[in-house]
Structure 1
Amino acid sequence: MTSRRIRIDVPALTRVEGEGSLRLEIKGNKLVELGLSIFEPPRYFEKFLEGREAREVVDIVARICGICPVAYQISALNALESLSTQAVSPWVQRMRRAFYCGEWLQSHALHIHLLALPDYLGFDNAIAMAERHPEEVKRGLKLQGMGNALIRLFGGRSVHPVGARLGGFHHAPSAETVADLVEKLKGAQEDARNLTHFCASLPLPDDPQSFICVALHHPDHYAMESGEIHTSTGLVLNAAQFEQHFHEHHKPDSTALWSDLDGHPYLTGPLARLNINHAQLPDFLQARLQEIGFQLPSSNMFHSLIARALEIELALHEAIRLLDEYAYPDAPYNSLFLEPGIGFGMSEAPRGLLWHRYALDDQGLIQAARIVPPTSQNQARIEEDLHRSLSRFGLNHDEDALRLRAEQVIRNYDPCISCATHFLRLEKHET
């Protein structure tokens, strides 16, 4: 075999949230260097929270991400409300889950139709794809619109919502408004079912790998807005135990923190959730698994596309179930008193586990904040996946083919790079 040495640089990854770059260097038929770099400027959002009143946190963290604001709000509320001896009402618990369903629905629909499908239908972008596949794009926009409507129902608006607060919501929607939305959600269920079958029919690469899955698990339902951490290695952890096993570290070519689980890369997100919680899917989705011949747990990251489609069906089902017998509450929130201390909270953002920690003083002010988003948790797994997937794909392919496969691998994780950028602590040593 003729030896060759090539270097492939992808200075700006396409169809991902935020900006990142990829370097590949191949010598002979071996990948000798691979680097996924996050070069967005740090955003200081944890520092912005210091000195703020606890009640301000929920609105500030909603600005961290335009795609996953609900996840940031719910994880923050779970952390802060853990410092109260009081509990939110059952109505608030149900409506927060419905609120969260909207985020899963809009985020997954956007990713599948506008970011991922062009890979499998042979187009560079969704605009070009729309000319040949207008119905698929229309379906995606419809499902995303349903998710936005759910977020707006409780959040007041679909981007950076402002309706959530400590103890519940600022306002409750009217029964008439809820009933109208429920009928529209029911009308979208056929689209969601067709989407699952469509995704399962695509020629997804067969690329099995071994990886650790991490997701929340709840004893009563498929975990979304609450639960304990379960891992495929058998760990069961509450939010306060997260830092005992999950560690962040810096890389010199990245403004993002990278995470490991006891020294190992791991996966969080829809496929990890499905692998850990598939037994809790409702009966109609258990039947759907049989219809499409989808075996779980799956070790193929390209099955993340199918996992997102199944979670769209789940989010619609859950939202309808929670809102079908909606009753206007006596009050949309409870006034909670927060004790000083350290609060921990987490939830399942569309992209995976989102963990928060807040230190609250006796004046009710935030003294310190730490947020670990899913993209930074997945980055070590992405690099590991790129090594294995590209080697399996065949390093003898031309540069364009290798570049496309690398981007496909990265898009499986739907990385939100902006969310992953943190302020890097500078340590200067002089002798």
Structure 2
Amino acid sequence: MTSRRIRIDVPALTRVEGEGSLRLEVRQDQLIELGLSIFEPPRYFEKFLEGREAEEVVDIVARICGICPVAYQISALNALESMSRQMASPWVRSMRRAFYCGEWLQSHALHIHLLALPDFLGFENAIAMAERHPNMVKRGLKLQGLGNALVRLFGGRSVHPVGARLGGFHHAPAPDEVTALADRLKAAQQDAGDLTRFCASLPLPDDPQTFICVALHHPDRYAIESGEIRTSTGLNLSANQFEQHFHETHKPDSTALWSDLDGQPYLTGPLARLNINHPQLPDFLLTRLGEIGLELPSCNMFHSLIARALEIELVLHEAIQLLNDYTYPKSPYTALPLEPGIGYGMSEAPRGLLWHRYELDEKGLIRAARIVPPTSQNQARIEADLHHSLTTMGLDNGEDVLKLRAEQVIRNYDPCISCSTHFLTLKKVET
């Protein structure tokens, strides 16, 4: 029997941030081994927090990710404020949701227009796509800019915002600023609806598979900034129960931690959220589901593109309502004395569940911290998806075809790799 070894080295997976490697071993058109390796050096943010005052945590964790700083801040605030006998005011809780809507808007708009759509329109990157579809790219940048403006309204700046603090915000925006931004958001709703219809019209791969969904669920609204964990396997968990069912382990060939739910890979992110929480969508989006013919729950990971578009419509709608009801507060924060102990908190980053735990000592200093980002939670699911999708497509395809499909699969999860990982060198071994 003859054998041949083919190696393709790509210094970085295009249109995601980071590096790593994917190993394939194929024998007689059977996939014998598939290994997704992550090898970014650890960044030690959890260790940086030890010995810091609790008030410092909010600004430090915002530096973990340039795309999802609000998610890190809100999860940290939820964890720290759970160690207080008091609660943030209703005004603060509403404005935190508006703040978070901005992050979902900018992140989803960036992913869809600049990272994902080139895959389905046959372009190498968004720059090449812009030559043929300039208005599409302009729409994406416009929506992303609106999300950045909403983050800046409460955070002081759109990247690594500094406006959030324990008990609320350092400042409250002026009513005329709020009204002006609400008007801009209203003007973008038509673009968002057109985007959802366009994404649903694309010839997305038909790639059904079985997977476990994990997302926050809130009894009164579509969960973004708060809620409890719900799984498609029937679990309902509070933040302090996370470690009883979710576990992180080291792989021998990866520096990043890999997560499982009671021993099984699982999905967190837009499609998982939509599968679990779609009955809570506003009426116009329930109508939109019928219009585009999307049946939920969906078992096709390529529907993540449509899920992000629907969530753009959702957060525009939510932000407009919250800003329309805006009142200038007597104070933008409530002093919340923290008690020593362990605090747990979580929220829904654009890419999925983001869980924090902090141990606070009698001096108000962080004794220990643990942060579990969504990208690392999705890694085992990504590997399972790669195995399924590449096998289903056909392992007799050439290296370029396999590499493109692998990248498409990974981009479905919109991995914020710098938070936990790096990606892609592809090695295909045939014997």
What pairs up with 1:402-413 in 2 under 5 angstroms?
Answer: 402-413=402-413
What pairs up with 1:72-111 in 2 under 5 angstroms?
Answer: 72-111=72-111
Paired letter, 1:187? A
Shift of 1:49: 0.1
Q: Distance in 2 between matches of 1:396 and 1:33?
A: 15
Q: Which residue of 2 aligns with 1:374?
A: 374
Shift of 1:325: 2.1
Q: Distance in 2 between matches of 1:61 and 1:232?
A: 30
Amino-acid identity (%): 82
Paired letter, 1:363? K
What pairs up with 1:14-163 in 2 under 5 angstroms?
Answer: 14-163=14-163
Q: Distance in 1 between matches of 2:231 and 2:274?
A: 12
Q: Distance in 2 between matches of 1:146 and 1:35?
A: 39
What pairs up with 1:224-243 in 2 under 5 angstroms?
Answer: 224-243=224-243
Contact 1:6 1:27 survives alignment (8 Å): no
Paired letter, 1:23? R
Q: Distance in 1 between matches of 2:52 and 2:421?
A: 21
Q: Which residue of 2 aligns with 1:337?
A: 337
Inter-CA distance 158–99: structure 2 relative to 1 (3 Å threshold): same
What pairs up with 1:145-294 in 2 under 5 angstroms?
Answer: 145-294=145-294
Q: Which residue of 2 aligns with 1:318?
A: 318
Q: Distance in 2 between matches of 1:223 and 1:97?
A: 10
Paired letter, 1:171? H
Q: Which residue of 2 aligns with 1:414?
A: 414
Aligned-residue Cα RMSD (Å) equals: 1.4
Shift of 1:17: 2.3
Q: Distance in 2 between matches of 1:221 and 1:327?
A: 21
Shift of 1:167: 0.1
Q: Which residue of 2 aligns with 1:425?
A: none
Paired letter, 1:336? L
Q: What per-residue deviation string (whole Å, max 9, x for no partner) do you get for residues 248-287 of structure 1?
A: 0001221110000000000000000000000000000000
Q: Does 1:354 align with 2:339?
A: no
Shift of 1:5: 6.0
Contact 1:229 1:236 survives alignment (8 Å): yes
Secondary structure in 1 aligned to 2:63? Answer: coil
Q: What per-residue deviation string (whole Å, max 9, x for no partner) do you get for residues 337-386 of structure 1?
A: 00000000000000000000000000000000000000000000000000
Q: Which residue of 2 aligns with 1:300?
A: 300
Secondary structure in 2 aligned to 1:291? Answer: helix
Paired letter, 1:63? R
Shift of 1:331: 0.4
Q: Distance in 2 between matches of 1:258 and 1:341?
A: 27
Contact 2:20 2:421 survives alignment (8 Å): no
Paired letter, 1:92? V
Contact 1:10 1:22 survives alignment (8 Å): no
Shift of 1:26: 1.7
Contact 1:22 1:34 survives alignment (8 Å): yes
Inter-CA distance 368–175: structure 2 relative to 1 (3 Å threshold): same
Secondary structure in 2 aligned to 1:17? Answer: coil
Q: Distance in 1 between matches of 2:45 and 2:219?
A: 33
Shift of 1:421: 4.7
Shift of 1:31: 1.3
Shift of 1:25: 2.1
Contact 1:358 1:367 survives alignment (8 Å): yes
Paired letter, 2:337? F
Q: Distance in 1 between matches of 2:231 and 2:310?
A: 21
Structure 1's unaligned 5+ residue stretches are 423-431
Q: Which residue of 2 aligns with 1:13?
A: 13
Contact 2:19 2:421 survives alignment (8 Å): no
Secondary structure in 1 aligned to 2:222? Answer: coil
Q: Distance in 2 between matches of 1:124 and 1:390?
A: 20
Shift of 1:334: 0.2
Shift of 1:4: 6.7
TM-score, length-normalised on structure 1?
0.96
Inter-CA distance 297–3: structure 2 relative to 1 (3 Å threshold): farther
Contact 1:4 1:27 survives alignment (8 Å): no
Q: Distance in 2 between matches of 1:421 and 1:200?
A: 30
Shift of 1:21: 2.4
Q: Which residue of 2 aligns with 1:429?
A: none
Q: Distance in 2 between matches of 1:313 and 1:2?
A: 55
Shift of 1:90: 0.3
Q: Distance in 1 between matches of 2:289 and 2:421?
A: 37
Shift of 1:10: 4.3
Q: Distance in 2 between matches of 1:207 and 1:2?
A: 33
Paired letter, 1:360? L
Shift of 1:12: 2.1
Structure 2's unaligned 5+ residue stretches are 423-431
Shift of 1:388: 0.4
Contact 2:213 2:232 survives alignment (8 Å): yes
Q: Distance in 1 between matches of 2:73 and 2:263?
A: 29
Paired letter, 1:229? I
